[in-house]
Structure 1
Amino acid sequence: MKQITFDDIYILGNIVAENDLYRHYHYPEMLIRYDSNFIDFKKQPSLTELKKAEKYLREFHLRQGQKHVKFCFPENMQLERELVDYLNDSGYENGFLELYGIQPDQFPEVEDQPDIDIQIVTDKNFETYLDLQYKQDLGFGSEFARAKMDLAKRQFKEESRIMRVLAFYKGNPAGYVDVITTDKTAEIDNLTVVEAFQKKGIGSRLQKFVMDTYPDKTVILVADGEDTAREMYMKQNYHYLGFQNEVQKI
Structure 2
Amino acid sequence: MQQITFENIYTLGNIATENALYRHFHYPDMLISYDSNFIEFKVLPSLTEFKRVEIYLREYHFKRGQRHLKFYFPVNIKPSEELNIYLTDMGYEIGFQELYAIQPKQFPSVENNPDIDIEKVTNKNLAVNLDLQYRNDLEFGREFADQKANLIKRQFEGQDIQQVLAFYKESPAGYVDVIISDETVEIDNLTVDESFRNKGIGSRLQKFVMDSFPERIVILVADGEDTPKEMYKKQNYKYQGFKYEAQKIYQD
TM-score range (shorter-chain normalised) is over 0.9
1:105 shift after superposition? 0.2
Report % sequence identity: 65
Deviation track 1:173-222 (CA, whole Å, cap 9, x = no partner) reads 01010000111110000001111111111100000000000001110000
Aligned length in residues: 249
1:25 matched to 2:22? The reply is no
The residue that corresponds to 1:239 in the other structure is: 238
Q: Which residue of 2 aligns with 1:140?
A: 140
Query: Residue 122 of structure 2 aligns to a residue in which SS?
Result: coil
CA distance in 2, matches of 1:212, 1:200: 20
Say whether residues 1:41 and 2:46 are aligned partners: no
Aligned to 2:76: 76
Q: Which position in structure 2 is the counterpart of 1:225?
A: 224
2: distance between equivalents of 1:245 and 1:219? 22
Amino acid at match of 2:244: N
What pairs up with 1:64-143 in 2 under 5 angstroms?
64-143=64-143
Q: Which amino acid aligns with 1:96?
A: F
The C-alpha deviation readout for 1:46-73, integer Å capped at 9, x for no partner, is 1111011000000000111111111000
Per the alignment, residue 197 of structure 2 pairs with 198
1:109 positional shift:
0.4
Question: Which residue is 1:58 aligned to?
Answer: 58
Q: State the secondary structure of the residue aligned to 1:50.
A: helix
SS at match of 2:58: helix
| Distance in structure 2 (CA, Å) of the matches to 1:227 and 1:50 | 27
> Is residue 186 from structure 1 mapped to residue 185 from structure 2 by the alignment?
yes
Return the alpha-carbon distance in structure 2 between the equivalents of residues 198 and 249 of structure 1.
31
Q: TM-score, length-normalised on structure 2?
A: 0.98
CA deviation after TM superposition for structure 1 residue 155, in Å: 1.4
RMSD (Å), alpha carbons? 0.6
Partner of 1:156: 156
| In 2, Cα distance between equivalents of 1:193 and 1:68 | 27
Q: Which amino acid in the other structure matches residue 153 of structure 2?
A: K
Unaligned runs of 5+ in 1: none
The offset of 1:86, in angstroms, is: 0.9
C-alpha distance in structure 1 between counterparts of 2:183 and 2:147, whole Å: 30
Runs of 4 or more consecutive aligned structure 1 residues displaced over 2 Å after TM superposition = none
Farther off after superposition, 77-86 or 30-39: 77-86
Q: TM-score, normalised to structure 1's length?
A: 0.98
Code of the residue aligned with 2:246 in structure 1: it is: V
Following superposition, the deviation at residue 156 of structure 1 comes to 1.2
> Partner of 1:221: helix, strand, or coil?
strand
Give the letter for the 1:205 counterpart. R
Quick check: 1:176 aligned with 2:171? no
Measured in 2, the distance between the counterparts of 1:2 and 1:191 equals 24
